[in-house]
């Protein structure tokens, strides 16, 4: 039996490289024939290479992973790559080969590889049910941001939303502030404001989003301006006039 082939479809280059390196270390017999970062490129790669396996991010630009899996049409085994447990569990129960959660875990990937080795010689699973379910889920329910990634030299740092005290706009970047660190990410604050859970993060200024659970209190100066005190940071954050209503009951 020839060595199995795979395509990696993941829109974040650093995460894609991390998955490739982990697969090379944990399944050296697997040959990765293409790496792509968007849905249309994934479709072209499947047509061109006819891989045995495709590691497929559910949410990609151009066409999402559901469209790509539908395009594959049972020609290859699908491993869904996702940051969301709900997607992963649904996919697994419906008969997809397996799933990989972001950020990647060597132990979880080992389990995925074991299942792939057992199934790769058999016909791919029928994904009709799960693709219909996932398509409905993506259009009807919003998933909130769970983590952000920040490049630090040649490495990637993953910061979970639970760690974050606040976000602050910094020109074309956004400063992500945790209890004991600060990192810059290439994502505007406006976009982040649409991705975070509005019950967990409040926009208190046009340039700041703060974690509600990190708010220690609110002070008012002699001019009536509000500032937010934080539980785990010494600095305070100004409250813009358009956001004062958030603290009426505090």
Long-range contacts of 93-96 (CB under 8 A, 24+ apart): 94/127, 94/129, 94/130, 94/133, 95/125, 95/126, 95/127, 95/129, 95/130, 96/125, 96/127, 96/130
Contact indicator for 71, 96 with CB cutoff of 8 Å? no
Tell me the average pLDDT of the chain: 87
Q: Cα separations (Å) of 49 from 74, 86, 161, 179, 213?
A: 15, 30, 38, 47, 49
Long-range contacts of 179-184 (CB under 8 A, 24+ apart): 179/232, 179/233, 183/150, 183/152, 183/157, 183/159, 184/150
Determine the pLDDT at residue 214. 96
CATH 3.40.190.290 fits 147-247, yes or no: no
Q: Which two tokens stand for residue 58?
A: 């559910």
Q: Where are the alpha helices (DSSP H) in 50-176?
A: 65-72, 85-93, 106-119, 128-140
CATH class of 5-140: alpha beta
Percent of the chain at pLDDT exceeding 90: 48
Determine the pLDDT at residue 54. 96
Q: Determine the 3-state secondary structure of 33 from DSSP.
A: strand
Domain residue spans of the chain: 5-140, 147-247
Q: Cα separation of 120 and 133, whole Å? A: 24
Tens of pLDDT along the chain (250 residues) come to: 578 999 999 988 888 999 999 999 999 999 999 999 999 999 999 999 999 999 999 888 888 888 899 898 889 999 988 876 666 666 666 666 678 887 788 888 998 999 899 888 888 888 887 777 777 766 655 678 888 988 777 778 889 999 999 999 988 899 999 999 999 998 889 889 988 988 899 999 999 999 999 999 999 988 889 999 999 999 999 999 889 888 875 5
pLDDT in tens, 14-34: 889 999 999 999 999 999 999
pLDDT in tens, 109-146: 998 999 899 888 888 888 887 777 777 766 655 678 88
Q: Cα separation of 199 and 215, whole Å? A: 13
> For residue 99, what are the contacts with CB-CB under 8 A and spacing of at least 6?
79, 80, 81, 82, 87, 88, 89, 91, 92, 112
């Amino acid at each position: 039996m020839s060595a199995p082939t795979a395509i990696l479809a993941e829109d974040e280059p650093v995460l894609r490289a991390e998955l490739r390196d982990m697969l090379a270390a944990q399944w050296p017999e697997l040959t990765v024939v293409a790496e792509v970062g968007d849905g249309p490129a994934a479709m072209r790669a499947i047509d061109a290479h006819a891989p045995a396996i495709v590691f497929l991010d559910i949410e990609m630009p151009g066409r999402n992973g559901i469209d790509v899996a539908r395009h594959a049409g049972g020609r290859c085994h699908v491993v869904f790559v996702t940051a969301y447990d709900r997607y992963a569990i649904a996919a697994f129960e419906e008969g997809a080969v397996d799933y990989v959660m972001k950020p990647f875990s060597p132990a979880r990937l080992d389990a995925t590889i074991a299942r792939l080795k057992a199934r790769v010689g058999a016909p791919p699973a029928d994904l009709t049910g799960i693709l219909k379910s996932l398509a409905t889920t993506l259009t009807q329910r919003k998933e909130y941001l769970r983590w952000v990634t920040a490049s630090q030299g040649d490495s990637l740092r993953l910061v979970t939303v639970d760690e974050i005290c606040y976000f602050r706009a910094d020109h074309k970047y956004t400063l992500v502030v945790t209890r004991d660190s600060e990192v810059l990410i290439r994502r505007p604050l406006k976009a982040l404001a649409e991705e975070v859970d509005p019950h967990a993060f409040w926009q208190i200024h046009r340039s700041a989003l703060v974690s509600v659970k990190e708010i220690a209190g609110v002070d008012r100066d002699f001019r009536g301006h509000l500032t937010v005190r934080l539980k785990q940071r010494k600095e305070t954050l100004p409250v813009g006039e358009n956001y004062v209503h958030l603290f009426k009951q505090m």
